[in-house]
Amino acid sequence: MASIRPYRPEDLEGLYDVCLKTGDSGQDATALYRDKHLLGAIYAAPYGRLAPELAFVAEDGGRVAGYIVGTADTRAFAALLEVRWWPVLRAAHADPQGVPWAERTPDQHLERLFHKPNLAPEPVVATYPAHLHINLLPHLQGQGMGQRMMDTLSTALKAVGAPGLHLGVSEANTRAQRFYDTYGFTRFPEQQTPGTIWMVRELA
């Protein structure tokens, strides 16, 4: 049976792998990208490296089959990324800013985020400063594992005093929206970002 445990440094490649295999609105994105580490470098790995106390994995058969990662202070974490994470990636990946948006490859769309990261809207972060990313491989979905992982991270966030939690989900990913609805998230009352639904939940 799969179990939830704190992240360990040797789990890093597992974060990259799960992020890629769930990176197309929950489906396998392996065929979309030439560089298999790009998605994980944005949405998973930096949390394991820079905020391991708020990173947990679902271990199944001795391998990482899911994760939940986050931070209690979104703005402070963004500042940390600017110092300790993005510079290395920017040096290794050219900014495709000069390439028209419609002509960029899938890899270039992600590489652009190394140079200009997406930031959660200030009205969302002001009240719900914590955020998370969660992914599970398909064979662990629909078994209550996602809710158990949400409970695990929520407890850890409460312990460090985070009053509220937010996440962004694609408008196209209706399955994820239903999961977050079930867990008690609500939609932020004003649309802030085209194509993204910001969902929030009080922790206090």
- pLDDT, tens digit, 9 for 90 and up, residues 70-89: 999 999 999 999 999 999 99
pLDDT digits (tens, 9 = 90+) for 78-124: 999 999 999 999 999 999 999 999 999 999 999 999 999 999 999 99
Task: Supply the pLDDT for residue 191.
Answer: 66
Strand partners, 56: 6, 68
3-state secondary structure of 73: coil
Look up the domain containing 190 and give its range: 3-202
Q: Hey, what amino acid is at 6?
A: P
3-state secondary structure of 93: coil
**What is the tally of helices (H) and strands (E) in the chain?**
9, 7
How far is it, in rounded angstroms, from Cα 64 to Cα 61? Answer: 8
CATH number of the domain where residue 127 is located: 3.40.630.30
Whole-model pTM above 0.85? Answer: yes
What string of pLDDT tens digits covers the 204 residues of the chain? 899 999 999 999 999 999 999 999 889 999 999 999 999 999 999 999 999 999 999 999 999 999 999 999 999 999 999 999 999 999 999 999 999 999 999 999 999 999 999 999 999 999 999 999 999 999 999 889 999 999 999 999 999 999 999 999 988 888 899 999 999 999 998 766 888 999 999 997
Closest Cα partner for 17 from 43, 55, 51, 49? 43
DSSP state of 96: G
Strand pairing class (130-136; 196-202):
unpaired
What is the domain count for the chain?
1
